Amino acid sequence: MTVTAEKLTETPTQTPLVTMRLWRGDATGGCFVDYEVEASEGEVVLDVVHRVQATQAPDLAVRWNCKAGKCGSCSAEVNGRPRLMCMTRMSTLPPGEAVTIAPMKTFPILKDLVSDVSFNYVVARQIPPLAPRPREADGTHRIAQVDIDRVQEFHKCIECFLCQDVCHVIRDHEGNKAHFAGPRFFVRAAALEMHPLDTLDRRPLLRHHLGLAYCNITKCCTEVCPVGIKITDNSIIPLKERVVDGYFDPIAWLGRKIRRKPARTPVTEPLAPQATAGANGPRPGRRSPGEA
Amino acid sequence: MADYDVKELDVLVIGAGGAGLRAAIESASLGARTGVVCKSLLGKAHTVMAEGGIAAAMGNVWAEDNWKIHFRDTMRGGKMLNNWRMAQLHAQEAPDRVFELEEWGAAFDRTPDGRILQRDFGGHRYARLAHVGDRTGLEMIRTLQYKAIYLDDLEVFMECTVLRLLVEGGRVTGAIAYWRETGRFVVFRAKATVLATGGIGKAFRFTSASWEYTGDGHALALWAGADMLDMEFVQFHPTGMIWPPSARGILVTEGVRGDGGVLRNSEGRRFMFDYIPPFFAAETADNEAEADRWYDDKRNRRPPELLPRDEVARAINAEVKAGRGSPHGGVFLDIASRRSAEYIERRLPSMYEQFLELADVDITKEPMEVGPTCHYMMGGVRVEPDTCAATVPGLYAAGEVAGGMHGSNRLGGNSLGDLLVFGRRAGAAAAEFARSAGGLGPLDEAQVARICADALQPFANEQGESPYELHRELQQTMQDLVGIIRTESELAEARDRLVGLAARVPGLYAEGNRQFNPGWHLAIDLRAMVAVSTCITLSALERRESRGGHTRDDYPKPDPEYFGKHNHITRLEEDGTVSVHAEPLPEMPPELAELFEEATVS
C-alpha cells in the first residue's frame, strides 16, 4: 500500500488518535484487532471505521448506506451496545478508552462487522400484507390523521434489526428463531393490525406461529430502537391484549357467538413458512448459492 | 474458463430503489419471471433518503391544481429542456401511482377531511407533495418492498453488483455480476433488462448520496452502446448540512422552506429577494409581507426561498462568496423564529433528530447552517418516453438513471413520482418485450470470461494504488472543477485529469480475498465513476451557456437561440472515446405549447 495517513487527513490541525478495537474474521472464527487512527471533531463511529478502512484495512467489511440514520444498514455492537454506527458520535464514548465494535451477535457472522440478517427477510414474508377495505364512492380512502398516527410511528422502522439483535428470546436461544418473529415483526404485524384500512385478523398467526407469548416485555428492544418506536408499549403489549381478548375474554367470546360472521378475516397459517424453493429458488434472494 | 453461476429470467431489473421495485412489481404482475439485483440489502436503497414527498396534482389541498399546471411547473423548472412527453406522462399519471401506494399500505399524512395531505415545495404552484412527515422515501420503499416480496414471479438477489451488460448481436441479453458476500460471479440471462440504478453522487466530495451512487447504470448503458442524454446537468441541492465536517452534505429537506423556513445571511437579511431571476419574477413575491401571506393565500406570489433548486443553490453560493456566509461557510436556514416548536417537531421530525444528534443544534430554537450539496443527476440514459426503452434493444431505464424527464433542473418532489410512473412503464414494456422476444439470446462464454478476468485484475496486481486514494482524488476533481459553478479552463483541466485517473484505474490494488471486500468493490465501482465523470465533463464543456444545474462563469446567461433548443447526446465511440453532439429538442404539440404562452394557467 502506498497510502499514508497524512495524505488522507481531512483537516490540517493535529487530531487525537483513538484506538478502534474491531472484530475481524468470518464464520470460521476471528478476534478483535486494535487500530490506532485519527478522529476529528464531530465525527461518528462510522467515520472513524471508514478511516481505518481507507488507511489500514482496505478489506474491512462493514455495511453502510446513507450515513444519516435513515437506512438502518450500519448496525453493530459498539462497546457492547447495539447501535447504528452512523448515529453514534465519538464524543459520546468514554475518552481515552478503546472503542470496541463487534457485529450483531444474534445473526451468523459473514465477515468482520457484517452479519447474515436473512432470517429477517424470511420472517417478513410469513405475515400476510394489508388487505384494504374498498374505496369510498368518490374513489378516496378517508382516514383521520389521528387514526393513522400510530401506524406512522411503526412505519418509522428502518429495519436496522437492532431490536432483533438485543432480544434475548433469539439472542440467547438460537432454536427459538423457528417459532419467534422478533420485535421488528411484531411492529410490522401491529402496523397491519392497526391500519385503518385493513380487513384481516392476524391474531391466530401471532399466537400460534409468530411466538408473541415468548416476549416477556423486558423492553430491551424499545431501548435500542434508533428511531424511537415504543416497540413494547405501543405494539407488543397491545397485540398481546388483542390476543387475550380474542381467545380468553368470555364476553368477547359471547359477542363472537352472537355475531354472524367475524368483522375481520382470521389468518391462521403463515405465508410460505419456509423460504419457498419454487421455480426461482429460495427467496427473497439468498445472496449466494454455494452456502447453507 | 471462468467459474460462474447462471440464472435465467424473462426480465432482469438492476436496482431495488423506487424505480427498480416498481418496475419489478409491474413486470412480475404481468407474469414475467423477474429478478431484481441490488447492491445492498433489500429496503436500503437510496430512495429511503427522500424526504419531502411525491408531487402529484391530486388537488386535495388546492382544488385548482391539475396535471397541466404540474406539467408546466416541471417544464419551467427544467428550463424547457425536459422531454415534454415524459413531463406530460409524469404529471398525468403521478396521482394514480400515489393512490396505488395508499392501497398497498402507505400511511400518508391526511387532510382534515381524511384525504391525502399535500405540502408546498419549490417550483410547484400549488401544495402538491403527498408526504409522510419528512420521511416519504422510507415509506415508499417499504411499501414497495412489502408489495414485492409476496409476488411469486419476483425474486430478489441482494448484495450483488453488476459488472457489465451482456450484448449479443446489438441486443442486451442480460448482465454479469458478482455476489458481494463471496466474490463469486453470476450471469443473469434475460430477455429484457431494466436499469434502475439511481445516480452518480459519489463522484463528488460533498454529496447527499450513499456509497451505492457510483453511476453504475449510466456506465453500463454507455459501455453497451446506448445514447446518454444531457449528462452535464447535475443538481446541487441548496440545503445540505455543512457542520460538523463529518455530516457535510447530508440533506436538509426543502420541506423546511415549504413549511415556512427562510434563508438568511450573516447580516440576518432574507437574501433570496436579491436573486429573483426575470424568468420567475412574475410569480415570485418581491417583499417579505407578500411572501409570508402566500403560505395561507395562494393569490399572493411565492416566497423566493421556494424558487427552483438551481436558483437557490447559486444564490447561497454567491452570498458565501461575497463574505456574508455563516461561520462554517454556508448560510442560515431559519424556521425556529417562524413556526412553533410543536409544528416543527410534527412536520419535520427527522430533521429535528438529525440536527440534534449530529450537530447539537435544536432547530426549534436556533437556525441551521446549510450549503449546497451534490444531490441528483438529471442527465442519463436516453429513453423512449412511453416505454423507457433505451437506444439499444432489450434495454430499458427508469428513475434517476434515465434522462429527459427533468430537463436541466429537477423540481423537488418530482423524483419520487418519476420513479413510480416510469418504473411501472419500464416494467410493463420490458415484460412485453420479453414475451415477444422468444427465447434467451445466446451466451458468449468468451465475453463472460473476459469480464470476469477484468474484474479480478485488482487481485492480480501484486501491489499498486489504493482505490480509496483514487476515489478521493476523483471526488476532489469533480467538486473543484465540475461543481456548482463551471468555467472553460477548469472543465478542460478536469477533462485532462480524468484521462490520468482513468489510466490509473487498471493499476488499482485490492488486498485480501474476494469475500466481502470493500476495497475491491470500490476499485470496480471507480470504473463507472470515472466513465460517468468523463461524460459529465465533456458534455459540460460543450454547453456554452448557463441553464438549470449547469452554470458557466464564462457564459453566465442562457442561450435561447441554440442551446435552449438542443439536447446533448453522449456516447461511446468504436475507438473508446466519448463523443458529444447536439440534437434538436423534440417538438411540443401545440395544445401543450400554448400552456406557456398564457401568463398564468388556471
Segment B293-309, tens digit of pLDDT: 999 888 899 999 999 99
Of B146, B151, B250, B193, the residue nearest B37 (C-alpha) = B193
Contact: A110, B350; criterion CB under 8 Å: no
- Predicted local confidence at residue B556, as pLDDT: 94
% of chain B with per-residue pLDDT over 90: 94
Cα B209 from Cα B203, distance rounded (Å): 10
What's the complex ipTM?
0.94
Mean pLDDT calculated for residue range B346-370: 94
Domains in chain A with CATH codes = 16-115 (3.10.20.30), 118-280 (1.10.1060.10)
Among B13-17, B322-326, B382-386, B461-465, the range scoring the smallest mean pLDDT is: B461-465
Give B555-582 pLDDT, tens digit per residue.
999 999 999 999 999 999 999 999 999 9
Angle CA(B274)–CA(B279)–CA(B285) in degrees, nearest 5?
A: 50
Touching check for A13 and chain B: CB below 8 Å? Answer: no
Tens of pLDDT, residue by residue over A149-197, are 999 999 999 999 999 999 999 999 999 999 999 999 999 999 999 999 9
pLDDT tens readout for residues B418-433: 999 999 999 999 999 9
% of residues, chain B, pLDDT over 70: 99
Give the pLDDT confidence of B165-207 residue by residue, as tens digits. 999 999 999 999 999 999 999 999 999 999 999 999 999 999 9
The residue-averaged pLDDT of B113-121 equals: 96
Q: Would you say how long chain A is, in residues?
A: 292
Q: CA B149 from chain center: how many Å?
A: 25
Using the Cβ of A66 and the Cβ atoms of chain B, whether some distance falls under 8 Å is answered with yes
B12 DSSP assignment: E
pLDDT given for residue A261 in this prediction:
60
DSSP character for B465? B
Q: How far is B594 from chain A (nearest CA, A)?
A: 32
Q: Which amino acid is at B386?
A: D
List C-alpha distances in Å: B551 to A184, B327, B402, B488, B581: 47, 26, 22, 11, 19
- Pairing assessment for the beta strands B185-195 and B4-14 based on DSSP bridges: parallel
User: Judging by DSSP bridges, how do beta strands B34-37 and B154-157 pair with one another?
Assistant: parallel
Backbone angles phi, psi at B151, to 5 degrees: -80, 130
pLDDT computed for residue A81 by the predictor: 97
At A254 the pLDDT is 78
Spatial separation of the C-alpha atoms in residues B413 and B22, rounded to whole Å: 17
Cite the beta strand spans of B303-367 per DSSP E: 331-334
**What distance in Å separates the CA atoms of residue B581 and residue B438, rounded to the nearest whole number?**
36
The amino acid at B118: Q
Contacts of B51 (CB under 8 A, 6+ apart): B134, B135, B136, B137, B251, B253, B254, B255, B350, B351
Q: Are strands B228-229 and B185-195 parallel, antiparallel or unpaired?
A: unpaired
Residue A290 has pLDDT above 50, yes or no: no
Contact at 8 Å (CB) between B57 and B91? yes
The string over B144-181, giving b where at least 16 C-beta atoms fall within 10 Å of a residue's C-beta and e elsewhere, is bbbbbbbeebbbbbbbbbbbbbbbeeebbbbbbbbbbb
Q: What is the largest CA-CA distance in chain A?
A: 80
| Chain A nearest C-alpha distance from B400 (Å) | 17
Q: Among this protein's residues, is B302 annotated catalytic?
A: no
How far is residue A224 from each of residues A72, A101, B48, B89, measured CA to CA in Å?
12, 16, 21, 44
Interface test with A, best of B47, B48, B132, B243 (most A CBs within 10 A): B48
Give yes or no for a contact between B177 and B186, defined as CB atoms under 8 angstroms apart: yes
The answer on pLDDT for B283 being more than 90 is yes
For every residue of B283-310, DSSP letters joined together read TB-SSHHHHHHHTT-TTSPBPGGGS-HH
Closest by CA to B32, choosing from B454, B487, B432, is B432
A12 vs B: CB within 8 A? no
Q: Look at the alpha carbons of B380, B385, B387, B390 in this order and tell me if their dihedral is positive or negative.
A: negative
Look at residue A281 in the predicted model and tell me its pLDDT.
Answer: 36
Which domains can be identified in chain B, with CATH numbers? 237-372 (3.90.700.10), 454-584 (1.20.58.100)
pLDDT of residue B1: 52
- Which amino acid is it at B517? N
Chain B residue with CA closest to A279: the answer is B153
Nearest to A66 among B49, B156, B358 (CB): B49
The closest alpha carbon to A16, from A133, A129, A80, A97, belongs to: A97
Q: Which amino acid is at B529?
A: M
**Edge-to-edge strands of the sheet including B118-119?**
B54-55, B129-130, B118-119
CB–CB of B78/B407 below 8 Å? yes
Chain A residue with CA closest to B112: the answer is A144
CB contact under 8 A, B107 and A151: yes
Question: From the DSSP assignment, how many helices (H) and strands (E) are in chain B?
Answer: 18, 18
- Helices of type H across B360-487: 414-436, 445-455, 457-460, 467-481
- Could B518 and A53 be called an inter-chain contact, meaning their C-beta atoms sit closer than 8 Å? yes
Backbone angles phi, psi at B538, to 5 degrees: -65, -40
Best residue in A1, A8, A28 to probe B by mutation, most B CBs within 10 Å?
A1
pLDDT at B602 over 50: no
Q: Give me the half-sphere count of Cα atoms (radius 13 Å) on the Cβ side of residue B235.
A: 31
Phi, psi of B274 (to 5 degrees): -85, 0
pLDDT surpasses 90 at B59: yes
| pLDDT at residue B135, rounded to an integer | 95
Q: Are A1 and A58 in contact (CB under 8 A)?
A: yes
B466: alpha, beta or left, given left = phi > 0 and alpha = psi -120 to 50?
A: beta
Is the pLDDT at A273 greater than 50? The verdict is no
pLDDT, tens digit (0-9, with 9 covering 90-100), for A49-64: 999 999 999 999 999 9
For residue A291, what pLDDT is reported? 36
| pTM given for the model | 0.94
**CA of A37, closest CA in chain B: separation in Å?**
15
Catalytic pick from B257, B375, B543, B552?
Answer: B257
Mean pLDDT, to the nearest integer, of B13-37? 98
A284/B156 CB distance under 8 A: yes
Which of B99, B210, B245 has the CB atom closest to A66's CB atom?
B210
**Per-residue pLDDT band at B142 (split at 50, 70, 90):** very high
Q: What is the mean pLDDT of chain B?
A: 95
> Residue A14: what pLDDT?
55
Total H helices, total E strands in chain A: 11, 9
For residue A149 the three cell numbers come to 398516527
A112 touches chain B (CB under 8 A): yes
A199: number of Cβ within 10 Å = 13
Write down the pLDDT at residue A286. Answer: 38
Task: Say how far apart CA B145 and CA B151 lie, in whole Å.
Answer: 11
Q: How confident is the model over A88-94, as a mean pLDDT?
A: 95
Report pLDDT for A278. 33
Single out the residue of A227, A152, A159 nearest to residue A190, CA to CA: A152
Predicted local confidence at residue B462, as pLDDT: 81
- Residue B248 annotated among the catalytic residues of the structure: no
* B540: nearest Cα among B230, B80, B217: B230
Residue with more model confidence, B464 or B17 = B17
* Angle in degrees, 0-180, between the axes of helices A45-55 and B467-481, rounded to the nearest 10: 110
**What residues of chain A lie within 8 A of the CB of B110, using their CB?**
143-145, 148
List the beta bridge partners of residue B262.
Answer: B334
CA A134 to chain centre: 32
Lowest average pLDDT, out of B177-181, B238-242, B439-443, goes to B439-443
Q: How far apart are CA A43 and CA B103, in angstroms?
A: 41
Question: Which residues have CB under 8 Å from B305's CB, separation 6+?
Answer: B122, B257, B261, B262, B263, B270, B272, B291, B312
Residue A277: is its pLDDT beyond 90?
Answer: no
Could you give the 3-state DSSP secondary structure of residue B340?
coil
Do B53 and B259 contact (CB within 8 A), yes or no? no
End-to-end CA distance of chain B: 66
Q: Are B415 and B97 in contact (CB under 8 A)?
A: no
Cβ contact, residue pair A73, B359, below 8 Å? no
* pLDDT for the residue B598: 61
**From residue B469, how far is each of A9, B387, B457, B465, B541 by CA, in Å?**
11, 41, 18, 8, 26
C-alpha span between A254 and A268 (Å, rounded)? 21
- Over range B317-326, report the average pLDDT: 94
CB-CB neighbors (< 8 A) of A141 in chain B: 102-103, 114
| Cβ <8 Å between A71 and B210 | yes
pLDDT of A8 > 60? The answer is no
8 Å CB contact between A35 and A101: no
Q: What is the mean pLDDT of residues B113-135?
A: 95
Mean pLDDT of A108-116: 97
